[in-house]
Amino acid sequence: MSFSDIRFFPRVTIEQVEEGNELAPKFDEHGLIPCVTTASHNGEVLMLGYMNAEALKKTILTGEAHYWSRSRKVIWHKGATSGLTQKVVSLRIDDDQDAIWLSVNVIGDASCHVGYRSCFYRSVPTGEGPDVRVLNYEEKEKTFDPKAVYGDAPNPTIL
Amino acid sequence: MSFSDIRFFPRVTIEQVEEGNELAPKFDEHGLIPCVTTASHNGEVLMLGYMNAEALKKTILTGEAHYWSRSRKVIWHKGATSGLTQKVVSLRIDDDQDAIWLSVNVIGDASCHVGYRSCFYRSVPTGEGPDVRVLNYEEKEKTFDPKAVYGDAPNPTIL
C-alpha cells in the first residue's frame, strides 16, 4: 500500500474526537500538527517537530519518523542525511487530536542538528532569582560533529 | 520580584541562540511557544501546551506550570480549577529556542481534562495495515471524573 491510502476521519463532534477511536487529526492554519519525539529507553524529549498530513501518513506506514521541515519546506525523512533515523516504538495522539507523541529508538543515539543527543540540551533556572537567567548545559559534550555529518548544508534555525 | 522583571534576550545570531547561554525564546505569529510537559518520575508525555511570554515568565518565577489557554484566551495556571497543579522539576529550551520542555511532578497524578493521566491516552498502529487505523486506548480507565472536577465549565476542545 501507499501512504496516500491511509485515511483520516473528518472532525464532527467533541465526543468523537476525545472519546472515540477514530483518527481525526487537526492540522493548523499551515497544515501542520506538532509532534513531540521521545527516546523510548529513558523518556528523554529529543525534539519537537511538525508534520503535515503526508508526513504523518508516511510515519504511520513506514514506522520511521517523517516531519515537515519548516525551513526547507519539504517532507523530511529524519536521518536521511545524517543516518540518525528514528524507528517508531509507539505513536500516540492527544485528547483533542492536535498533537502527536512519537516514542522512538534513535539509530546513532542523537537527534539534534547541533550535535547533541536531545535538542533540549539547556535548562533555565526556575524560582526567585536574577531577572536575567543564564542557561545551563545539561549535556556536557556533543554526540557527533555536525560539520562532519551535514557539511555545508544550511543551518535550519530561523531567527 | 514580579514575573515582569524577568527579561529575555533579543535573537541576534544563530550562534547566540544555539550555542550560547542567553534565554532568547521565539514566539510564533500568535505570540506563543509550544511546551511539552512530561512526568518527572517516568518520562511520560502528559500534554502539549502553549505559553505566551507572561506564562513562560510566571512558570520560571513560580516553579509551577502556567500556559496560555487558546480556547479561553487567558493565562492558565494549570490546576487552579482542578487542583492538579504541576510543580516544575526542570525547564529546558531547545536548540533554536522555539520550544519548551517542562519535566513536572503532578499533584493528583493527572493532567488531562478528559480525566486521564496523560492527554496521550490513545495510540495509532503503525506499519502496513488497513487504510483506516483504529485508535487503541493505552490507559484503561480515567484517573478522575471530569464532571466532578470541572462541573459545567465549557470543554476546551476546538473542532
Q: Which of A35, A120, A138, A145 to probe by mutation at the B interface, max B CB count within 10 Å?
A: A120
Report the complex ipTM. Answer: 0.93
Asked if B61 lies within 8 A of A127 by C-beta distance, the reply is: yes
Asked if A114 lies within 8 A of B19 by C-beta distance, the reply is: yes
d(CA B56, CA B69): 13
Q: Which positions in chain A touch B36 (Cβ < 8 Å)?
A: 36, 45, 48
Angle of CA points A157, B3, B4, to nearest 5°: 80
Q: B143 to each of A23, A108, B128, how far by Cα in Å?
A: 23, 37, 33
CATH number at residue A47: 3.10.20.810
Asked if A113 lies within 8 A of B135 by C-beta distance, the reply is: no
Q: Is residue B159 part of a domain?
A: no
Q: Is residue B15 part of a domain?
A: yes
Domain of residue B57, residue span: 3-150
pLDDT surpassing 80 at residue B26: yes
Q: Is residue A159 part of a domain?
A: no
pLDDT attached to residue B10: 97
Q: Is residue A136 part of a domain?
A: yes
pLDDT attached to residue B80: 87
Contacts by residues B28-33 (CB-CB < 8 Å, ≥ 24 positions apart): B28/B98, B32/B68, B32/B70, B33/B98, B33/B99, B33/B100
Q: How many CA atoms lie within 13 A of A138 on its CB side?
A: 20
Average pLDDT, chain B: 94
pLDDT attached to residue B81: 81
Asked if A45 lies within 8 A of B101 by C-beta distance, the reply is: yes
Q: What is the pLDDT of residues B94-112, one digit of tens each?
A: 999 999 999 999 887 778 8
The per-residue pLDDT string of chain A (159 residues; one tens digit each, 9 = 90 and over) reads: 899 999 999 999 999 999 999 999 999 999 999 999 999 999 999 999 999 999 999 999 999 999 999 999 999 999 888 888 999 999 999 999 999 999 999 887 777 889 999 999 999 999 999 999 999 999 999 988 888 888 888 888 889
For residue B42, the tally of other CB atoms under 10 A from its CB is 7
Helix residue ranges per DSSP H, chain A: 14-19, 53-62, 146-150
Q: Is residue A157 part of a domain?
A: no
pLDDT attached to residue A121: 97
Q: Is residue A82 part of a domain?
A: yes
Residue type, B69: S
Q: Which positions in chain A touch B33 (Cβ < 8 Å)?
A: none
Q: Is residue A119 part of a domain?
A: yes
Task: Report the domain count for chain B.
Answer: 1
pLDDT attached to residue B108: 79
Q: Is residue B61 part of a domain?
A: yes
**pLDDT band with cut points at 50, 70 and 90 for residue B16:** very high
